[in-house]
Amino acid sequence: MAKKSYAKKLTPGQMVIISFPASDWTQTLSELINKHRVGGVIFFKENVPRTLSTLKKLTARIKKESIRSSGLLPFISVDEEGGRVSRLKELIGEYPVPLDLAKKGEWAVKKNYASLGRKVRSAGFNLTWAPVLDVHTNPKNPVIGDRSFSSNPSTAAKFGKIAIKALRGAGLFTCGKHFPGHGDTFADSHLELPVVDATMATLNKRELVPFAAAVACKTDFFMTAHVLYRKVDPKNMGTFSKKILTGILRRKMGFKGLIVTDDLNMKAAGGTHRERIKRAIDAGADVLLIRDQDPIGFMETFESMVKKGEISQKRIRESLARIKRIKSRL
């Protein structure tokens, strides 16, 4: 009987990790968790309270309310890479950029991510959107740069694995990003759609090397890239490409974890919420990540699409099964 009750609570809302416009408990956050049963939340700088103790109380309440409403632990996540992508540095201290860190060697990388992971975990988070597995091949790249470990695929793969293992050892879920690669772009996908002309042969030798290493060490998530690889899929950027997410990542590379979109409100995604949701899930995404000023509206749109049959029930069942399996680790 307990299993039946548990299964009933496994709603499609588990497929969404969403932001909330506040740094404390609000009616909006309560509704997201208790009514829409979202799978998790993402903290940005505006969501982080001024003190560590206040942050811990907020994350603890999110956890408690989520378990009560859905029977599942929530993903309580934050972009904490170290370097210039850090939401918590005012509370946990500053960590070096990956590119500089990698120059100090394996022990420095392991020590850094173990420390970072412990501090993120102690603040109440169970997921950090790290490490970056992009290969830093374009010195004019406006968004990756020193967030990458290296311009050498094998070096990026080696340090990526070390970071994943150290973060996992600290008790966090881990995420390699941005699949199949964002290192060779001239544009920032927050502002426009980057286009890369690399062939599949080039991807196999370069971009995919760190991701293959992360598959081998069983990272929990891969975050998609809002990048159009037009010689691989001329019509769809990575986030919306079934060829890339299902064909390459799932079938060819054998990834068993969760595929999460990069923020669906970035300019590169284009279209309406309905179009973005459908294209991402049809392509193979399990989790929709969204930073939105109207999170309730986004959830209502998503739930309406599910109710009307606009999204494949087969895809929803596949993704919910993966989410349940990953969350059961905690």
Residue spans of the domains in the chain: they are: 46-258
Q: Which residue has the higher pLDDT, 245 or 139?
A: 245
CB of 210 within 8 A of CB of 216?
no
Structure confidence by residue, pLDDT tens digits, 145-191? 999 999 999 999 999 999 999 999 999 999 999 999 999 998 889 99
Pairing between β-strand 75-78 and β-strand 221-224 as defined by DSSP bridges = unpaired
Reply yes or no on whether the pLDDT at 264 is more than 50: yes
Q: What is the pLDDT of residue 187?
A: 85
Across the chain, the runs of DSSP E, i.e. the strands, are: 16-18, 40-43, 75-78, 80-82, 85-86, 127-128, 175-179, 195-196, 221-224, 228-229, 258-260, 288-290
Query: What residue type is assigned to position 292 of the chain?
Result: D
Least confident of 35-44, 55-64, 186-195: 186-195
Question: Can you tell me the distance from the alpha carbon of 138 to that of 202, in angstroms, rounded to the nearest whole number?
Answer: 14
Q: How many CA atoms lie within 13 A of 213 on its CB side?
A: 25
User: Which residues are CB-neighbours of 25 under 8 A, at least 6 positions away?
Assistant: 58, 61
Residue 300 corresponds to which tokens in the numbers above?
């209502």
Helix locations, 199-242, DSSP H: 200-205, 208-216, 242
Reply yes or no on whether the pLDDT at 8 is more than 60: no
| pLDDT average, residue stretch 81-94 | 95
Confidence at 113, pLDDT banded by 50, 70, 90? very high
Query: What residue type is assigned to position 235 of the chain?
Result: K
Burial (CB < 10 A; 0-12, 13-18, 19+), residue 3, is exposed
Q: What is the pLDDT of residue 186?
A: 86
CB of 264 within 8 A of CB of 288?
yes
Residue listed under structure tokens 């392509």: 283
Catalytic residues: 190, 262
CB of 32 within 8 A of CB of 18?
yes
Q: What is the pLDDT of residue 7?
A: 39
Reply yes or no on whether the pLDDT at 133 is more than 90: yes
Reply yes or no on whether the pLDDT at 104 is more than 60: yes
Reply yes or no on whether the pLDDT at 4 is more than 60: no
Residue 199 corresponds to which tokens in the numbers above?
């062939």
* Rounded alpha-carbon distances, angstroms, from residue 249 to 152, 192, 211, 246: 21, 24, 9, 6
Structure confidence by residue, pLDDT tens digits, 186-237? 888 999 999 999 999 999 999 999 999 999 999 999 999 999 999 999 999 9
Q: What is the pLDDT of residue 9?
A: 64
Q: Is 84 left (phi over 0), alpha (psi -120 to 50) or beta?
A: alpha
Q: What are residue 40's DSSP bridge partners?
A: 17, 75
CB atoms within 10 A of CB 79: 18
Question: Can you tell me the distance from the alpha carbon of 266 to that of 190, in angstroms, rounded to the nearest whole number?
Answer: 5
Fold of 46-258: TIM Barrel (3.20.20)
